[in-house]
C-alpha cells in the first residue's frame, strides 16, 4: 500500500513540474502578446491623434508587422509610404524594408528588384551590395555573388570612390 502512495506522489510531482514549466512558457508568450498589442494600440492612438506618418512611426509599425509575420500588412504599409510621397521618410528605407519582407518570404526576384532600385539611387551603398551578394550566394548564382563581393571589397578599400 505504501508503494502505491509513493508512486502516486511521484506521479503528481512529475505532473506538477511539467505543468509549472508549461505555465512559464505560456505566461511568457502571453506577456509578449499583450505587450505587442499594447504597443500597437499606443501607436495607433498616436497616429490617429497626429495623423503623421514619420520615419519612427513607420519603423515601429513595420517591425510590429514583421514580428507577427504578416507579409501583406508590412508590404501594404511600405507601398502606402511610397504612394504618399512623404518627404519625412527616405525612399531607400522603404525599399530596404520591402526587400527584407520579400526576401524573408522567399520572393527573391522581387527582393532583388528593390535592392537594385536602392543601388540605382545610391550605387555606393555597401550594406545593400553585401545583402545582394549573400542572396545571390544563397541562391547559387556564384558569378553574380562574386561580382557583388568584389564590388563590396572595392568599396571597403576605397577603389570605387576614387573613380
Q: How many domains does the chain have?
A: 1
19 part of a folded domain: yes
5 part of a folded domain: yes
The backbone region for 143, taken as left when phi is positive above 0, alpha when psi lies in -120 to 50, beta otherwise, is alpha
1 part of a folded domain: yes
Structural domain harbouring 24? 1-51
Q: What is the pTM of this model?
A: 0.63
Query: Over 90: is that where the pLDDT of 16 sits?
Result: yes
Query: Over 80: is that where the pLDDT of 121 sits?
Result: yes
The pLDDT of residue 38: 84
Share of the chain above pLDDT 90, in %: 15
Distance CA 47, CA 67 (A): 20
The pLDDT of residue 36: 79
Q: Do 64 and 77 touch, CB atoms closer than 8 A?
A: no
pLDDT band, very low/low/confident/very high, at 94 (cuts 50, 70, 90) = confident
**% helix, strand, coil for the chain, step of 5:** 85, 0, 15
9 part of a folded domain: yes
Amino acid at each position: 500500500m505504501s508503494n502505491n502512495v509513493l508512486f502516486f506522489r511521484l506521479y503528481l510531482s512529475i505532473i506538477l513540474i511539467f505543468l509549472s514549466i508549461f505555465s512559464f512558457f505560456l505566461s511568457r508568450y502571453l506577456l509578449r502578446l499583450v505587450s505587442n498589442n499594447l504597443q500597437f494600440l499606443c501607436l495607433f492612438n498616436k497616429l490617429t491623434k497626429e495623423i503623421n506618418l514619420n520615419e519612427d512611426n513607420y519603423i515601429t509599425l513595420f517591425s510590429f508587422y514583421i514580428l507577427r509575420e504578416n507579409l501583406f500588412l508590412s508590404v501594404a504599409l511600405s507601398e502606402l509610404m511610397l504612394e504618399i510621397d512623404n518627404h519625412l521618410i527616405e525612399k531607400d528605407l522603404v525599399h530596404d524594408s520591402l526587400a527584407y519582407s520579400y526576401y524573408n518570404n522567399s520572393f527573391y526576384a522581387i527582393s532583388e528588384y528593390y535592392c537594385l532600385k536602392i543601388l540605382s539611387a545610391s550605387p555606393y551603398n555597401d550594406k545593400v551590395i553585401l545583402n545582394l551578394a549573400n542572396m545571390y550566394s544563397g541562391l547559387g548564382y556564384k558569378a553574380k555573388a562574386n561580382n557583388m563581393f568584389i564590388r563590396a571589397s572595392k568599396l571597403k578599400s576605397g577603389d570605387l570612390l576614387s573613380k
